[in-house]
Structure 1
Amino acid sequence: MKTDMNWQQLALPIVVTETTPNFLGEIIQETLALTRRLFIQLQRRPSSLVAGIIQPVMWLVLFGALFQNAPKGLFGTTTNYSQFLAAGVIVFTAFAGALNAGLPVMFDREFGFLNRLLVAPLASRFSIVFASTIFIISQSLLQAAIIVGAAAFLGAGLPNAVGLSAIALIVFLLALGVTAISLGLAFALPGHIELIAVIFVTNLPLLFASTALAPLSFMPSWLQVIATLNPLSYAIEPIRYLYLHSNWGLNDVVMQAFWGDVSFGGALLVLLGFAMVALISIQPQLRRTLA
């Protein structure tokens, strides 16, 4: 018996399920997991965080007492040196912490943990860099908040809510740029000895070549030129302006450089440009290392 088969009726529906990976979600999950690992390490060894808070508070106390009887007008319009110094201590603490950002990555390299991460099925190996950046910036903002509170307790005063938000933005931009440079060095230098040497050589010279401890008018002309090229000065002067002026705007002049006046908004643009240049400059090194 010949049977006519209707292949269209016999054909069964075939359901094809494609699992499209959520690339962005996986990166966020990896970044949060690696960031949590860094915070667990900090919880187990909180000495670095505690030292990063005690040292700047001691600076506020000791330097404030040292220049308590300084001649009027030596530090600008304020006679309160703690108020003048608070901005420099906030910025230098964020700078020093961000400059050490490459050390955990360097130790992971030397102990072999970074190689394990590189062979792991990560959606993006840049999550390693993202986690370190989030950790360092969070730590810098926490230290800055404590120093602001300590400076207020010592008589420096406290900016309003908008001013505090501006301080957080300035600390974020500076920490972002310096963290990028430190992470680039961590992947480029052969070991932690070289990275620590770079940190030691860079730390104090950039502090004294900025307006952290003294105004531009107090410096010789050649040091004024260097200070106005130092990114730290563009973070210090806007914060100092917030402490000295309750009413402020983006067009207010915060620093008089050798080429002209620098406004509050101009200083923010310089910090933003510094962070962008730092992030772009480390991309080739990161791609070679994480490839």
Structure 2
Amino acid sequence: MIEEGAHWCDYPWRSANNINQLGFAEKTVFSGDKRVYMAEQFYDITRPVIREYHSKFIRQSVNVFHDNNGVVHSIGLEYTGPLNFMNFWLEEVNACDNHQLVALTATKDVQDSVLKDKKHTLMVDVIDIRQWHYRADGTLYEPQGGVSLALRQHARLIDPGTVSCASVYRAVREYRCKYPDKAVVYNGSTIRVPRNAMNWAIFMAGGSFAKIPPIDELPVYEKASSFSPIDRQTDMDTQWVMGAVGKGYLGYCVKNEINLDLMGDRETYKVFWIDPDKGTVIKEDGSVRGGGKVILKAPAESSICFLQL
């Protein structure tokens, strides 16, 4: 619909490729013999024929999975369209029986507007952070929705910068705190960092679908399902901690030690160190008793610490 004209030429919705007389202009007008700008017409649900076929397409896309479970429906991976069409999409999906889970994938302005709307936020199960991110310097990269620019075009106009594990942790944690009834997944900008730190940052902030390894030797994930991120024990640059009093703790230390505040917990825990890449136990490290602050030395930089009751 936007950017590369070759994509629109092959698109099933283009009038030349479609028997339903959708009313898109032919011949297609190109800018500079290459660019095409059809998004405004495509998302124009004030036109009855466009609204009708969008509704049919959306409902068919949902109903084809009617007999399945665990399905997450998303408007698309590169949606930079307007708010009113996103709301329309949510309403159409919500109108289908057994529509499973719904992911909100959009630019930050559209995403935030939906989540603040009492009607449409109830239709969202998963917040998909994909079109925006916090830069490593703390500033926000946030392309706007509905301005007929693809993601790559936004990135040419505004420098996306780079992210860090801390900035990714911040984004996920922020939305988990704001909307605790919804899952948060992070599919935005990343960088390659040692010891799988980026994916552990997502998980430790409370994110879902993080690419972390199975840990077969210990019930880490079983226990972690009852843990919550502990903000007062987290320094986004050096360590991330989650846990629950009387149940256990899980931490990722970027350096070679982790600082834990167990002042309000009188239990004694076994200490295990885990490889964040492989999910294997590196070291069994005795036990630690609660009731105070403790510093645990890691066997290697960027290790996982698990305190098991």
Above 0.5 in TM-score?
no
Higher RCO (CA < 8 A, seq sep 6+)? 1
TM bucket (normalised to shorter chain) is under 0.3
Larger helix share, 1 or 2: 1
The TM-score, its normalising length taken from structure 1, stands at 0.26
The TM-score, its normalising length taken from structure 2, stands at 0.25
| Higher-Rg member (1/2) | 1
